[in-house]
Amino acid sequence: MSTQCKAPILVTGGAGYIGSHVALQLREAGERVIVLDNLSTGFREAVLDAELVVGEAGDFALVHGLLEAHGIDTVLHFAARTIVPESVADPLRYYGNNTCATRNLLAACARAGVQHFVFSSTAAVYGVPEGGRCREDSPNAPINPYGTSKLMSEWMLRDLAAASELRYVALRYFNVAGCDRKGRIGQSTEKATLLVKVAAEAALGRRPRLAIFGTDYPTPDGTGVRDYIHVEDLARAHLDALRHLREGGTSQTLNVGYGHGYSVREVIDTMTRVHGAPIPTVEEPRRAGDPPVLIAECERVKQVLGWTPELDDLEMICRTSLDWERRLTASRGH
């Protein structure tokens, strides 16, 4: 089938950080993309030349109409609230915006006969894993509403697939960071909480200082350890997941990370080196809902999808983040 004859792919949340990188790679691979985003945390300019529909992923009538009108058989679902401390403070917002909206989206997909579904899940479903490392069969024990809201969505997806022809891949992300190396799109969210983004902002004076939340964890330097993955590597995992489904692959739930971690202080040291000047920091108490260590066991995603990391380099992650932050600073006049 020629690319021109293919039905488009619906990407919910495709104006956001991760969704926009995936949508860009899909278009570079010759796919037609329709982005559905309410622009509450996404950016119209991040959609570039893809078609944008402004609306809610949980709007059954809107989504069903899009799926039917375009003959869409593939959905990639990114739309969600993703800030752990906010989920602790306002849990019902997360169950409404993440879990209930996903239920409505899946209902529209079931009605329209969608065949392939790729879901943006999270390592937060594991909570505080023993030894800090997570396999796909590690116990699901989220310690915050964000992780629980995503786990509930995974359950709905699993049960719908068991009762229908839909097949899916749920990708459990670890700590996503970095930006498009060509500088076309990046992490643009104001008041972001992702460490690498915040470190880049502090380096350029867009924040007065970088807060280190928790210095008494049972880790080598007392700060939290995370598995940081470049957003372009993560985006490619979605294209690999789509290929897997199109080739008749079975439904899967897979970790996506690099399999090793860096502490908060190691990230700050690397950003300082890339920036070439000290970054002001302040030590704060631990944040609610933060595990001490969270690292992926990620052999399965490599075996099942044939995914291979290409940008497993903390300096590269920090450099692309800092380059994007400089672009934002210039464009926003900060």
What is the CATH number that goes with domain 7-177+229-256? 3.40.50.720
125-134, 158-167, 214-223: range with lowest mean pLDDT: 125-134
Mean pLDDT throughout 23-29? Answer: 98
Q: In this structure, which topology does domain 195-226+259-329 adopt according to CATH?
A: UDP-galactose 4-epimerase; domain 1 (3.90.25)
- Asked if residue 80 has pLDDT above 90, the reply is yes
39-43, 153-157, 191-195, 268-272: range with lowest mean pLDDT: 191-195
The ranges assigned to domains in the chain are: 7-177+229-256, 195-226+259-329
- Asked if residue 216 has pLDDT above 90, the reply is yes
What's the DSSP call for residue 277?
S
Catalytic residue annotation: 146
Burial of 85 (0-12, 13-18, 19+ CB in 10 A): middle
Mean pLDDT throughout 257-283? Answer: 97
- Asked if residue 96 has pLDDT above 60, the reply is yes
pLDDT tens track for 63-76:
999 999 999 999 99
- Nearest CA to 279 among 208, 331, 223? 208
- Asked if residue 38 has pLDDT above 50, the reply is yes
- Asked if residue 321 has pLDDT above 50, the reply is yes
Taking the C-alpha atoms of residue 176 and residue 230, their distance in angstroms, rounded to an integer, is 6
pLDDT tens track for 132-155:
999 999 999 999 999 999 999 999
- Asked if residue 1 has pLDDT above 50, the reply is no
pLDDT on residue 193: 85
Taking the C-alpha atoms of residue 149 and residue 84, their distance in angstroms, rounded to an integer, is 11
Give me 146's structure tokens.
Answer: 């964000």
Confidence of residue 333 (pLDDT cuts 50, 70, 90): low
Give me 26's structure tokens.
Answer: 């899909």
Question: CB of 231 within 8 A of CB of 23?
Answer: no
pTM of the model: 0.95
Taking the C-alpha atoms of residue 287 and residue 282, their distance in angstroms, rounded to an integer, is 14
- Asked if residue 5 has pLDDT above 70, the reply is no
Question: CB of 280 within 8 A of CB of 209?
Answer: yes
pLDDT on residue 189: 87
Mean pLDDT throughout 96-118? Answer: 98
Mean per-residue pLDDT over the chain, rounded: 95
